[in-house]
Amino acid sequence: MQAEPPIRALIAPVTPLQQNCTIVWCAKTLKAAIIDPGGEVPRLIEALKEHNLTLEKIWITHGHLDHAGGTAALKQAFDCPIEGPHPDDAFWIDEIETSGAKWGMPDARSFTPDRWLADGDRVTLGETEFEVYHCPGHTPGHVIFFHREARFAQVGDVLFQGSIGRTDFPRGNHQQLIASITGKLWPLGDDVRFVPGHGPMSSFGQERRTNPYVADQVLADA
């Protein structure tokens, strides 16, 4: 008989930018984390209720508005700790209200994480654990969350199906991004399935074969 997966996940695209907010939970305890609550907080709360989940953590991959704009409201509603991103993204979090006004998200507010994250950290959820990897390039303080047993990662805007994160924002760095993908993500294994910040899921193996920016053959020919 196939073993029960240690975690489960629900992807909920939010905001006009259709950012993949993900609700992940420990299958044993139904303790949940919301990763990148960019907005539409009432909808996220309804999803928690629908699946009988208890929100335990809020995890942030990076400080951009569409990934973090609803964090303060979610924290106010549940009083649970905010973990992430890396402190190098503090300046982006400070810009959330200004960005929200520009993008038609006036409820977006800045916040201070309860715990900044660094490469090699671990975050717990119920009876399970995720690894944290600092993956700068799209933003300087971007982190990703990886569950080793489930072969599952939430990578924010580092990598997408068929594309990679933009690096034309302040303190973005293309070479850093490529190094993050090839040096931090690829070693986790080709079988790892990942949720990107936008668009459909993929696997690291698929992107190594087919991604026009970071496929093995593309980089070898560069």
Q: pLDDT tens digit string along 116-148?
A: 999 999 999 999 999 999 999 999 999 999 999
Q: How many domains does the chain have?
A: 1
b or e along 118-153 (b: 16 or more beta carbons within 10 Å of the residue's beta carbon)?
eeebebebbebebbbbbbbbbbbbbbbbbbeebbbb
- 2 found inside a domain: no
78 neighbors 72 (Cβ within 8 angstroms): no
Q: pLDDT tens digit string along 153-179?
A: 999 999 999 999 999 999 999 999 999
- 185 found inside a domain: yes
- 201 found inside a domain: yes
CATH code at position 144: 3.60.15.10
Would you say residue 1 has pLDDT above 50? no
- 1 found inside a domain: no
Beta pairing, strands 54-59 & 82-83: parallel
Q: Which residue has the tokens 């993204």?
A: 89
Facing residues of 147 across strands?
152
Note if the pTM is more than 0.75.
yes
The predicted structure's pLDDT at residue 89: 98
Q: pLDDT tens digit string along 196-209?
A: 999 999 999 999 99
- pLDDT mean across residues, the chain: 96
- List the domain range (segments joined by +) for residue 143: 7-221
- 174 found inside a domain: yes
